[in-house]
Amino acid sequence: MLTQDPNLSYQANADRYTRMTYPRCGASGIRLPALSLGLWQNFGGTDSLANARAMVQCAFDLGITQFDLANNYGPPYGSAETTFGEIFKRDLAPYRDELIITSKAGYDMWPGPYGIGGSRKYLVASCDQSLKRTGLDYFDIFYSHCMDPDTPLEETMQALDYIVRSGRALYAGISNYGAEQTREAIAILKSLGTPLLIHQPRYNMLDRWIEDGLTDVLKEEGVGAIVFSPLSQGLLTDKYLRGVPANSRAARQEQIYFNEKDIREELLTKVKALHDLAEARGQSLAQMALAWVLNNEVVSSALIGASRPAQIEDSVAALDNLDFSAEELARIDAILK
């Protein structure tokens, strides 16, 4: 274990850059770690600060330099940013220039008509709130978290342009946008002089929607991708091969995006076949699933989640075997068909 006692003063591992790889993000000059840490789960106000701190320390010690937030990550909303802000102040402040710290706004955050969507008022106010919660002077990337059909795309992109030009963020990103929406967003931002750096879509072996047009747009326009849910919220691990464990995410009734009803027998059949292939490669299923998403040429980084440091260490071990033979890729496609 590379992390120190979380109660002691933190000093980063001197060898933190020896194992991680840093692909270029699209056609930009920025390089991202192949694996980044997402703070969507297990960093909220109801979770252990000591454990969250240990996970962040472990990630950075392993060369993970990117930490991904959003305004409403928790629960409660905003608490993941507050947690990260405390960890940053205690442990990471001396390393600020080695870090990519990101946040987003788009989904609901506060009551009333101005706490959701893609308006300039919401995005700018939310960015300011997020900076206060984290204690940061700026974000490296600030995202429009989702397309808002009730707001002109020009207004949303102008807000991102303003956030960058005002020094609140260094780069603009979008998340959960379709292929044509992405192409339009790229054109608008390019005309404003603030190129789109990155797109953050959901992507994994069981959800390959980005291959139906979005990856072509990103490749043509030189925009990078960082994908979330590369393990399909735990489905692409060994966790559910023999049912739903009592302490798993799927067993938690408060989970609105993933629960026991999502564990269907047809999916488990595919997962078991993938597990057998991973074993033949000398990897866990989770490690193979991470390697697979990184095999897509437009993917610069995969966002991993974790509930303990050991899971982060296991994910980073995926980098030891990123190559697939043509036969392996064909077998994966056949399993998933």
105-155 pLDDT tens trace? 999 999 999 999 999 999 999 999 999 999 999 999 999 999 999 999 999
Q: Is residue 148 part of a domain?
A: yes
| pLDDT of 7 | 54
Task: State the residue range of the domain holding 119.
Answer: 35-233+287-323
Mean per-residue pLDDT, 90-119: 98
| pLDDT of 284 | 97
pLDDT band at 244 (very low <50, low <70, confident <90, very high): low
How far is C-alpha 203 from the chain's CA centre? 10
| pLDDT of 260 | 55
Range in 116-125, 265-274, 320-329 the model is least confident about? 265-274
Q: Is residue 24 part of a domain?
A: no
Q: Where are the beta strands (DSSP E) in 82-159?
A: 100-105, 139-144
Q: Is residue 118 part of a domain?
A: yes
Q: Is 169 strand, coil or helix?
A: strand
With 0-12 CB in 10 A as exposed, 13-18 as middle and 19+ as buried, what is 149? exposed
Q: Is residue 85 part of a domain?
A: yes
| pLDDT of 247 | 60
Q: Is residue 213 part of a domain?
A: yes
Q: How many domains does the chain have?
A: 1
Q: What percent of the chain has pLDDT over 90?
A: 88
The whole-angstrom separation of Cα 313 and Cα 1 is 8
33-81 pLDDT tens trace? 999 999 999 999 999 999 999 999 999 999 999 999 999 999 999 999 9
Amino acid at site 147: M
For the domain that residue 316 is a member of, what is the CATH number?
3.20.20.100
Q: Is residue 158 part of a domain?
A: yes
Q: Is 17 strand, coil or helix?
A: coil
Q: Is residue 191 part of a domain?
A: yes
| pLDDT of 1 | 43
| pLDDT of 266 | 86
Q: Is residue 184 part of a domain?
A: yes
Mean per-residue pLDDT, 161-172: 99
Average pLDDT for the chain:
93
Prediction pTM value: 0.92
Cis peptide before 33 (omega within 30 of 0): no
| pLDDT of 261 | 66
Range in 169-183, 252-266, 284-298, 318-332 the model is least confident about? 252-266
